[in-house]
Amino acid sequence: MKTLYLDKIKNFAQKIIIKKFTFAFLVNEILLCIKNIRYYFCKFESMKWVLSIVFVCLYTKALYAQHDSQIGSYAFNQVMFNPAYAGGAKRSEATILQRSQFIGFAGAPSVWNIAIKTPFEIEGLEQGAAFTLSSDRIGAFNKLHFAMGYAYWHKLQDAKIGAGVSLGAVSYTMTPTWEGIVDEAIPTQKESASAAFDVNVGLCYQRQNWSVGLSCTHVNQPQTLKLLSEDYGLTVQRTFYLNGEYRWQTPIEDLWFNPTAMVMMVSLLRPQLGIGGYAVYREQYWGGLSYRIGDAVGIMAGLFIKSLKFGLVYEYSLSKFAGYNGGNTEIFASYMFDINWSRKKKHYKSLRFLK
């Protein structure tokens, strides 16, 4: 009888040990699998393969495209996201901007933007016009967007308020470059989406030392169709912006400090907050810092040389990819010029000149 009980206890103990061992083995295998996935993901020489495969696996009949690109120099390039800034300035300006994100990560986002804005007056009414052209590439996808904008500014007692609208088009192109993939469901050739009509609106309120802007891009949420097949398309999501800037003269002569802030929110989802500031010395040298919560911290610097303006931004990534890339860089250059829109009235001494 004693031997029987001992055998039962022994069998019971063996079952417990086996269960614990099995559980520990499964946990170890899961952790090892996760580690391998992370390792091979980081070892891929082309992020385009990963992004494209994920896209093909997860797409539905209503795809939502990447929102507008985030830039660190938003205080110098407001017309990119708010058409009201087409006016409100004293001089015309042409700007070119290039941004590279996640340096060293193949297929990482890359942005080019060209913007031209010019203020003008007609019968004493302050107005403005703008043209923007941008290319936003990430992985196998490239978004091309252009718009023509108009702004009207109304003078108040100690301030002025502006409203703007821009109309244009947005389209997507997919250029797969992966190798060794044999699957009819995975596209292997370049495909272009049809261009879709796009609407952007904005407001701006300015006083002597501060300003605030509110805008919405892709108001109509344009759909670019015929990508991958006749039944699938991309929807560019509506994006909201709230930005502000204050100009403060420090006790140091010829030194100004401008704190800035911007909130970016895609379709009323979780907002992205960016804060920062830059100092301007003798209206010639400028430099500052920026911080986007949970995303990046940056340093910026630049020069004003007569009618030219240069800027360079470097951001250290704080996202989950921080250990796998060299950060973000951004460079822009602007040229400010004057256009005489006024028409001088001609006076004639003889009616013969009116024929």
Q: What is the pLDDT of residues 111-133, one digit of tens each?
A: 999 999 999 998 889 999 999 99
Cβ proximity of 309 and 336 under 8 Å: yes
Lookup: tokens for 170 = 């947005």
- pLDDT(190) > 70: no
Any idea which of 23-37, 161-175, 329-343 has the lowest mean pLDDT?
Answer: 23-37
For residue range 54-101, what is the model confidence (pLDDT) as tens digits? 343 333 344 444 468 888 999 999 999 999 999 888 899 999 999 998
Range of weakest confidence among 10-14, 139-143, 190-194, 242-246? 10-14
pLDDT value for 343: 53
Answer yes or no: are the C-beta atoms of 149 and 202 closer than 8 Å.
no
Burial label for 37, CB within 10 Å (0-12, 13-18, 19+), is: exposed
Measure the CA–CA gap between 316 and 306, rounded to whole angstroms.
Answer: 31
Residue 223 to residue 255: CA distance in whole angstroms: 48
Cβ atoms within 10 A of the Cβ of 217, count? 27
